Amino acid sequence: MYNFIILAWRNIWRNKRRTIITTASVFFAMFLALVMRSFQVGSYDHMINNAVESYTGYIQIQDAEYWDDKTIDKTFEINEDLMTEIQQNSNVKQISPRLESFALASSGIKTKGVLVLGIDPEKEFSQVESKLVKWRFSDEAIARLEKENLPEIILKKIKELKNESYSYPGKIELDLELSNGDIQKYMPVIKTSAALSNSYFNNTEGVLIADRLAKFLGLSQNDTIVLIEQGFHGISAAGKYPINGVVKIPNPELDNMLIYMKLPQAQKFYSANDRLTSIAFNLKHHEYKDVKRTKHQIMNLLDTEKFAVKDWKELNTELVQQIESDNGSGIIMIAILYIVVAFGIFGTVLMMTAERRKEFGVMIAVGMKKWKLAIIVTLEMILLGFLAIISGIVASIPIILWYFYHPIRLTGDLAKTIENFGMEAVMPMAFQVDIFLNQIIVVMLLLLLAIAYPVFSITRIKAIRAIKD
């Protein structure tokens, strides 16, 4: 076999042009497929992390009937011993107990239906504190900025963004379309002038209110909001609460209706003492097989007639459908790319077989077994494939690693659209072994299919006729 490999290696370099053309076609297919697939998978992971880690969690425990009828009456109690046992699971990172229900919010003559979410600030993993509004282009802020030495184009954009709120400076830079030089020169002034006094839960009675809801009701920090609703088992629920802070929720729907309360406060408001609508879990390992395994481990600790355990795919069906749809279109694009390359490879193989027909006839005439000749030709194609695959991987890894650690930050209308869907406007790349393995398998299958023709031709070749041709 060693001698066969040596012969095959020498043969592929007898015609360097043909070898380079074949290798280049497979190389570009491999390179483009790896980059495209890494961008796709990276975007999916980013979407999942935004939806899962910022709200639903990877797993939730609920009352068995809650998913079909999300009312305050479908709550449950859970003992601390069971919680401790679940916490001991090696894949459980954080456990967040929650009480979630609706209420009617009022301020002055304005009212609006809202979603009240009771959380334990010390256990909550959705990073509520990071969503606090830190800057706002209010009338007062714009008046202060007009006195600063800002370029007219930046000041004009600020006025267009009147009353817009921000939780992190990157979004300000994005909306104002600032260059790197502008960021260093003007951002300190903008941040100082537009700074907003805001705080997290600072007393047991205060609540946090979503930014768009606060604007609709005309409320801000230290104002008071009135909530009315029907509590557990029909008990009347009513309360008046000071606003500790305003939070900017990326999802517009939630930003129009969400109010955060401390869990004991929410349980008291709904007369649902020690009761929860869900327990959300953040996990250490996020692969879906790890999520499913952890889900089954938690289910084994619970009475499945009383409780339901749902993973993030069941909790985010719309997101899953969106990813599956986009993934399908991406696979079709890569398939088209490989089909084009497959025809190129097959064309090269046809040319090679036709050019070497006389050579094959001579070798068979002097005593070369056809099966040995078929093995050598097969090894030639495999070596060409390995050259293309290795070069494609080597060329793609630096790009994938760079954008894995330094995601592309989107700008303009596309960025705003993505932000409105509740996601950060970045495009990271995924660096996963399975992405490389899948492309290697596809390329090798294409090469094996292409090999079938010369092997078949060799088995049917007639030495004398091939020499005459």
Which of 215-229, 256-270, 413-427 shows the lowest per-residue confidence on average (mean pLDDT)? Answer: 413-427
pLDDT at 117: 92
Distance CA 257, CA 71 (A): 17
User: What 3-state DSSP class applies to 55?
Assistant: helix
Q: How far is CA 23 from the centre of its chain?
A: 33
Q: pLDDT per residue over 28-54, tens digit each?
A: 888 888 888 888 888 887 777 777 877
Helix intervals (H) in 406-462: 412-420, 433-460
Pair 256, 216: CB distance under 8 Å: yes
Question: How much of the chain, in percent, has pLDDT values that exceed 70?
Answer: 95
Number of domains in the chain: 1
- The pLDDT-based confidence of 416 (bands split at 50, 70, 90) is low
Is residue 47 in some structural domain?
Answer: yes
Q: pLDDT per residue over 142-171, tens digit each?
A: 888 888 888 888 888 888 888 888 888 877
Mean pLDDT for the stretch of residues 409-423: 64
Is residue 162 in some structural domain?
Answer: no
Token code pair at residue 450: 């292409």
Distance CA 33, CA 149 (A): 49
Distance CA 40, CA 428 (A): 9
Pair 136, 190: CB distance under 8 Å: no
- The pLDDT-based confidence of 315 (bands split at 50, 70, 90) is confident
Distance CA 223, CA 241 (A): 9
Residue of 311, 282, 257 lying closest to 117 (CA atoms): 257
pLDDT at 254: 80
Does the pLDDT of residue 226 top 90, yes or no?
yes
Is residue 366 in some structural domain?
Answer: yes
Strand-pairing partners, residue 261, are 118
Pair 235, 192: CB distance under 8 Å: no
Does the pLDDT of residue 417 top 80, yes or no?
no
Does the pLDDT of residue 412 top 70, yes or no?
no
- The pLDDT-based confidence of 466 (bands split at 50, 70, 90) is low
Please report the sign of the dihedral spanned by the C-alpha atoms of residue 295, residue 297, residue 298, residue 300. positive
Distance CA 428, CA 46 (A): 7
pLDDT at 67: 87
Q: pLDDT per residue over 81-96, tens digit each?
A: 888 888 888 898 888 9
pLDDT at 131: 86
Is residue 385 in some structural domain?
Answer: yes
pLDDT at 115: 92
Does the pLDDT of residue 422 top 70, yes or no?
no
Mean pLDDT for the stretch of residues 280-297: 89
Mean pLDDT for the stretch of residues 446-450: 82
Element (H, E) at 108: none
Pair 446, 338: CB distance under 8 Å: yes
C-alpha distances out from residue 170 to 176, 189, 221, 305, 426, Å: 10, 15, 23, 47, 11
Does the pLDDT of residue 424 top 70, yes or no?
no
Residues spanned by the domain of 455: 2-51+319-468
pLDDT at 98: 92
Is residue 70 in some structural domain?
Answer: no
Does the pLDDT of residue 286 top 90, yes or no?
no
Distance CA 200, CA 331 (A): 45
Count other C-beta atoms under 10 Å from residue 266's C-beta: 27
Comparing 5 with 257, the larger pLDDT belongs to 257
Is residue 110 in some structural domain?
Answer: no
Q: What are phi and psi of 188, to 5 degrees?
A: -55, -40
Is residue 232 in some structural domain?
Answer: no
pLDDT at 276: 92
Is residue 190 in some structural domain?
Answer: no
Question: How much of the chain, in percent, has pLDDT values that exceed 90?
Answer: 16
Q: Based on C-alpha coordinates, what's the Rg of the chain?
A: 31
